[in-house]
A and B are shown apart, each in its own frame.
Chain A
Amino acid sequence: MTTLSIDHVSRWFGNVVAVNDITMNVGPGVTGLLGPNGAGKSTLINMMGGFLAPSTGTVTLDGQQVWRNEQIYKYIGIVPEREAMYDFLTGREFVVANAELHGLGAKAAQKALATVEMEYAQDRKISTYSKGMRQRVKMASALVHDPSLLLLDEPFNGMDPRQRMQLMDLLRRMGDEGRTVLFSSHILEEVEQLAWHIEVVVAGRHAASGDFRKIRRLMTDRPHRYLVRSSDDRALAAALIADPSTSGIEVDLAEDALRIQAVDFGRFTALLPRVAKDHGIRLLTVSPSDESLESVFSYLVAA
């Protein structure tokens, strides 16, 4: 049982606060670290991996300090986001070197290469690899010493759907085996497909934590805003406001449109076309005005 504990960790760079007082425990199974780009996920992962000192707070693995403790890497496998990886070596040479640095031999390297199904291209230079192949060799180098904690920074970036599926299967297997697997992502669907548990980070702060379905519901049930243009905006507004799924409507004269706030997403999306049809109103534009991930996340922060 490996637990990574982040205790009141903050990290700032000059005047910029990248991570703001985050406390979380990451236990066995697959955990997704979700947040928009620039939310502080990489800074957090770097601190978890011992590559960056927290400005305040502590990061420990089963009670052992991570920062400035080389011996901790016996238990941690790291898959960095960065591409660079000794391109002049072949895949096999790279993984063997990683095994040797752990005091292991070619056998461990071969096993790791088999786990990520890269044996077929192991004798090619890394410089000739595709993004997905690089990612798998990086995985092999992280798995070579059979770590109990695996940290992956945006592992699915730039992978095609098939490679993504393969890596997800692999990570799921690792989680089922009882390893603590943490991966970061800014894509909701990735996290949804893979993680049992998620931690949401927004603007350096810990926005939500827990079971994915609960958080997903929070995200879906938040008030939605729409911009609607129709053949008769005022009549449409009058008809919609009568229904409890709509909490506010504003006539935007400059845009010549209605700005509608809906509190019940499912009910509103069914109501709008029906009301329009019943009143003989033509809908010209229906566009969600706050569907960006950032707005979803900022709602979560407020919730």
Chain B
Amino acid sequence: MYDPTVARLTYRALLGRRRALILGALPFLLIAISVVVRGLTGADDQTAVDVLGGLGLATMVPIIGVIAGTGAIGPEIDDGSVVYLLSKPLKRPTIIFTKLIVAIAVTMVFSAVPMLIAGFILNGNGQQIAVAYTVAALVASIAYAALFLLLGTVSRHAVVFGLVYALVWEALFGSLVAGARTLSVQQWSLAVAHKVAGGELVTSDVGLTTATVFLVAVTAGATWFAGQKLRSLKLAGEE
């Protein structure tokens, strides 16, 4: 199911100079803001939740997910170089699964690690807040990577759609329409974070069971569907 060569090519494409800079910018911003906030307000649990939740989980994680998820396959499909993977005796789902693993790993490294660092800076992991949000980032990384990898496989405008989902659906709709919150990777991961932190500081609109079911279903469903799409991918645009 996992091909090390596909993984190596994907890592190198994803962590190329320009993309690595973009991937690194948001985590850097989160940590920088945490340092400033800590300096201005001192260690405060609610402030830590606001920064990690509002900036980290609601903004940074999905954007990193979009860049890593769509970037793991989208550019190759766009420029046609995916032909070198497709013209091999390699099962299409293997290509997708491998790229998913890479996208998850990259999203985790660029979102969960800075989340933990920022959490410790903000309140020294008081009330387990840093760890809870790190776990949320890890969980969300899996679902976002799968979702955006699928988008990268089916659409040439994957980045735009991904950002619309992450920022408009999750952030804007989520705050206006209660139902939208049930269908939100962010809320599912918060349910897991709530379990880790306990108490009432970290909360979610969905229960842990619902969240787990959705997380597993979305990740598995998106991955399966992306594999199917890749099987019948047409390399159009030549004529």
Contacts and interface: CB of A to CB of B under 8 A. Distances in A.
13 contacts: A51-B86, A51-B87, A52-B236, A72-B89, A81-B238, A86-B9, A86-B13, A88-B13, A98-B88, A100-B4, A101-B5, A102-B89, A141-B84
Interface of B: 3-6, 8-9, 12-13, 16, 79-81, 83-92, 231-236, 238-239
A74 interface: yes
Most chain A C-beta atoms within 10 Å of own C-beta, residue among B80, B233, B238: B238
A213 to B, nearest CB: 29
Interface string A32-54: 00000010101100100111110
B79 A97 contact: no
Given A53-B232, A78-B87, A42 B3 contact: no
A73 B89 contact: yes
Contact of B80 (A82, A97, A98, A141): A82
A85 interface: yes
A291 B8 CA distance: 51
Contacts of B5: 97, 100-101
A-B pairs, top 3 by smallest CB distance, nearest first, are A84-B79, A42-B238, A82-B80
A72 B85 CA distance: 14
A162 interface: no
Contact of B238 (A46, A53, A86): A46
Nearest to A37: B239
B81 A70 contact: no
Interface residues of A, number: 36
A68 to B, nearest CB: 6
B16 A88 contact: yes
A100 B16 CA distance: 22
A71 interface: yes
Contact of B84 (A40, A68, A86, A88): A86
A175 interface: no
A77 to B, nearest CB: 8
A101 B81 contact: no
A74 B12 contact: no
A280 B120 CA distance: 102
A226 B67 CA distance: 60
A29 B194 CA distance: 68
Given A70-B90, A73-B88, A102-B88, A82 B238 contact: yes
A100 B6 CA distance: 9
B90 A51 contact: no
A38 B239 CA distance: 6
Contacts of B88: 70, 73, 98, 101-102
Contacts of A167: none
Contacts of B90: 70, 73, 101
A102 B4 CA distance: 12
A78 B83 contact: yes
Given A49-B87, A78-B87, A100-B5, A68 B80 contact: no
Contacts of A74: 89
